[in-house]
Amino acid sequence: MLVKCARPFEWMVVPEYQIARTGKNPLRVDAAVLDAFNLPRGYWEAKDEKDDLRAEVNKKFATGYPQTNILFQALSFQEFS
């Protein structure tokens, strides 16, 4: 879905994208959508359907994950079968 949405803008989806932080280990989101200048336009984080999505989001935000232009998705493996 991300690739399809990014295509009309000629943006690319980069899996396992690292976000650098000064004096700390980088954060790693499941994917980032980058424009032609390699500027992040959005982020994607996938969570297991067994995870408490609200708790996982709060944990990620407390760690320093971006709080804008980020999509958290609870994946259901039944959706793919």
Q: What is the pTM of this model?
A: 0.82
Of residues 60, 10, 21, the one with CA closest to residue 73: 60
Cα(6)–Cα(40) distance, integer angstroms: 12
Would you write out the chain's pLDDT as a tens digit for each of its 81 residues?
A: 889 989 999 999 999 999 999 999 999 999 999 999 999 999 999 987 788 889 999 999 999 999 999 999 887 655 444
The reported pLDDT for the residue numbered 76 is 67
Taking the mean position of all CA atoms in its chain, how far away is CA 45? 4
Phi/psi of residue 10, nearest 5 degrees: 60, 35
Structure tokens of 69?
A: 């232009």
Domain ranges within the chain, ordered by starting residue: 2-80
